Protein backbone atom coordinates (compact mmCIF):
# COMPACT_ATOMS: atom_id res chain seq x y z
CA UNK A 1 0.00 0.00 0.00
CA UNK A 2 1.43 3.41 -0.95
CA UNK A 3 0.59 6.83 0.41
CA UNK A 4 -0.98 9.29 -2.02
CA UNK A 5 0.98 12.56 -2.00
CA UNK A 6 -0.39 13.96 -5.25
CA UNK A 7 -1.40 17.49 -6.14
CA UNK A 8 -4.99 17.17 -4.85
CA UNK A 9 -6.19 18.18 -1.40
CA UNK A 10 -5.04 15.93 1.41
CA UNK A 11 -7.61 14.34 3.70
CA UNK A 12 -7.99 15.93 7.14
CA UNK A 13 -6.66 13.70 9.97
CA UNK A 14 -7.15 15.80 13.15
CA UNK A 15 -5.85 19.13 14.40
CA UNK A 16 -2.33 20.52 14.19
CA UNK A 17 -0.79 20.63 17.70
CA UNK A 18 1.12 23.80 16.80
CA UNK A 19 -1.59 26.07 15.39
CA UNK A 20 -4.87 24.14 15.66
CA UNK A 21 -5.64 24.14 11.93
CA UNK A 22 -6.81 20.90 10.30
CA UNK A 23 -3.84 18.54 9.95
CA UNK A 24 -2.92 17.04 6.57
CA UNK A 25 -2.08 13.41 5.97
CA UNK A 26 1.22 14.24 4.24
CA UNK A 27 2.55 16.17 7.28
CA UNK A 28 0.61 14.37 10.02
CA UNK A 29 0.00 15.34 12.80
CA UNK A 30 0.80 18.87 11.59
CA UNK A 31 -0.92 21.05 8.98
CA UNK A 32 2.29 22.00 7.17
CA UNK A 33 6.04 21.57 7.08
CA UNK A 34 6.37 24.95 8.77
CA UNK A 35 4.39 23.84 11.85
CA UNK A 36 6.39 20.60 11.94
CA UNK A 37 9.63 22.63 11.93
CA UNK A 38 8.31 25.00 14.64
CA UNK A 39 7.55 21.99 16.85
CA UNK A 40 11.01 20.49 16.23
CA UNK A 41 12.61 23.81 17.13
CA UNK A 42 10.65 23.91 20.39
CA UNK A 43 11.86 20.40 21.26
CA UNK A 44 15.47 21.26 20.48
CA UNK A 45 15.34 24.45 22.57
CA UNK A 46 13.93 22.57 25.57
CA UNK A 47 10.46 24.14 25.65
CA UNK A 48 8.92 20.72 26.25
CA UNK A 49 11.25 19.75 29.12
CA UNK A 50 9.70 18.15 32.18
CA UNK A 51 10.55 20.13 35.32
CA UNK A 52 12.41 18.15 37.99
CA UNK A 53 12.15 18.83 41.71
CA UNK A 54 15.14 17.53 43.64
CA UNK A 55 14.54 16.11 47.10
CA UNK A 56 17.03 15.93 49.93
CA UNK A 57 17.65 12.25 49.11
CA UNK A 58 18.80 13.30 45.61
CA UNK A 59 21.48 15.67 46.91
CA UNK A 60 24.89 14.34 45.69
CA UNK A 61 26.75 16.11 48.56
CA UNK A 62 25.15 13.73 51.11
CA UNK A 63 26.89 10.66 49.72
Asked whether residue 61 is domain-assigned, the answer is: no
Q: Where is average pLDDT lowest: 21-25, 41-45, 57-61?
A: 57-61
Q: What residues make up the domain containing 21?
A: 12-46
Asked whether residue 54 is domain-assigned, the answer is: no
Quickly list DSSP for 10-59: PPEEEE-TTT-SEEEGGGTTSSSHHHHHHHHHHHHHTTTPPP----GGG-
Q: What domain count does the chain have?
A: 1
Which pTM value belongs to this model? 0.59
**pLDDT bucket at 2, cuts 50 / 70 / 90:** very low
Question: CA-to-CA distance for 3 and 46, rounded, in angstroms?
Answer: 33
Asked whether residue 23 is domain-assigned, the answer is: yes
Amino acid sequence: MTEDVGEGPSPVVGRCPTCGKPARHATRPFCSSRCRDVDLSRWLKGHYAVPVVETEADDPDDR
